[in-house]
A and B are shown apart, each in its own frame.
Chain A
Amino acid sequence: GAVVSQHPSWVICKSGTSVKIECRSLDFQATTMFWYRQFPKQSLMLMATSNEGSKATYEQGVEKDKFLINHASLTLSTLTVTSAHPEDSSFYICSARRTGTPNTGELFFGEGSRLTVL
C-alpha cells in the first residue's frame, strides 16, 4: 500500500524559533499534498493545499507567512512553522493523493508531527 512518511514525529522548540516538518510519499508520486492541524480530540483542520511546483493554497485564516509550505518535488512537501509561539503547539498531519488518480481519490496520511513550543 501507499506510504506517507512524516518527520519529525515530535519536536519541542523554544518560542521564536522555526521548525520544519517534512512529508514524503515513499512509494508513489503526489502532485497534491495537504497539511492539517489537529487539536486534541478534535477534527482535522485543513491548513493548506500543497501543489508540486506551484504556490500552496491556504485556507482562510491561515497565515501564509507563518506556515511556509514548499512542494519542491513529487514526493516531498515541507511545512515550516516560523517564529513559533506556544499557541502553535499542535498535531500537524499531512496527506497525499497519488498523481494520476481522480481529484476525489483516497488520501494517504502521514503519521503526524506533534509540535510543542515552550
Chain B
Amino acid sequence: GQQVMQIPQYQHVQEGEDFTTYCNSSTTLSNIQWYKQRPGGHPVFLIQLVKSGEVKKQKRLTFQFGEAKKNSSLHITATQTTDVGTYFCAGPVGYDKIIFGKGTRLHILP
C-alpha cells in the first residue's frame, strides 16, 4: 500500500545549528502536510503544501514540496530549544484518510 517514509528517525543538533527532515512517498501526493508534536503533547498542524515545487517559509522553518510531488522537506535554520519535538509529514490516501510518516525526533543540545 501507499507509504510515507521519513528520515532521519532521530536527530541531535547543537543549539544554533540547522536541521532538516525528509519525507518520501511511494506515490504522487495531491498535497503534503507537516505537523509538530512536542514531548508529551499532541500533533499540531504546521503547514500544507499543494503545488509542485512549492516552497513556504514560517520564520526559521522552510518547507519544500518536490517537483514530482513525491517528496518534501522541512528545514529549520539556527535551531532553538523551542524547536524540540517530533516532526511528522503526512499525505492523503484514498478519499479522506491521511497517513503519517514515522516522524523525526529533534533533540537540541544546549
CA distance A95 to B99 in the complex (A): 12
Task: Assess A109 versus B95: contact at CB under 8 Å? Given A41-B105, A44-B100.
Answer: no
A interface bracket (residues with beta carbon within 8 Å of B): 20 to 34
**Which residue in chain B gives the minimum CB-CB distance to A112?**
B42
**Which residue in chain A gives the minimum CB-CB distance to B99?**
A46
B20 at the interface (CB under 8 A from A): no
Q: Are B42 and A111 in contact (CB under 8 A)?
A: yes
CA distance A22 to B98 in the complex (A): 21
**Which residue in chain A gives the minimum CB-CB distance to B39?**
A41
CB contact list, B51-100 vs A, under 8 A: 88, 90, 92, 95-100
Secondary structure call for the B interface:
strand
Residues in B neighbouring A110, C-beta threshold 8 A: 42
Residues in A neighbouring B101, C-beta threshold 8 A: 43
**Which residue in chain B gives the minimum CB-CB distance to A108?**
B45
A106 at the interface (CB under 8 A from B): yes
Distance between A34 CB and nearest chain B CB, rounded to angstroms = 8
Q: Are B43 and A106 in contact (CB under 8 A)?
A: no
1/0 per residue, CB under 8 A from B, across A19-32: the answer is 00000000000001
**Which residue in chain A gives the minimum CB-CB distance to B31?**
A104
CA distance A86 to B11 in the complex (A): 32
CA distance A52 to B4 in the complex (A): 27
Residues in A neighbouring B30, C-beta threshold 8 A: 104
CA distance A97 to B48 in the complex (A): 14
CA distance A55 to B102 in the complex (A): 28
CA distance A45 to B12 in the complex (A): 24
Q: Are A43 and B42 in contact (CB under 8 A)?
A: no
Binding site for A on B (CB under 8 A): 30-31, 33, 35, 41-45, 48, 88, 90, 92, 95-103, 105
The 30 sampled A-B contact pairs (Cβ below 8 Å) are A41-B105, A42-B102, A43-B88, A43-B101, A43-B103, A44-B43, A44-B88, A44-B100, A46-B97, A46-B99, A49-B96, A95-B43, A103-B92, A103-B96, A104-B30, A104-B92, A104-B98, A106-B45, A106-B48, A107-B33, A107-B35, A107-B43, A107-B45, A107-B98, A108-B45, A109-B42, A110-B42, A111-B41, A111-B42, A112-B41
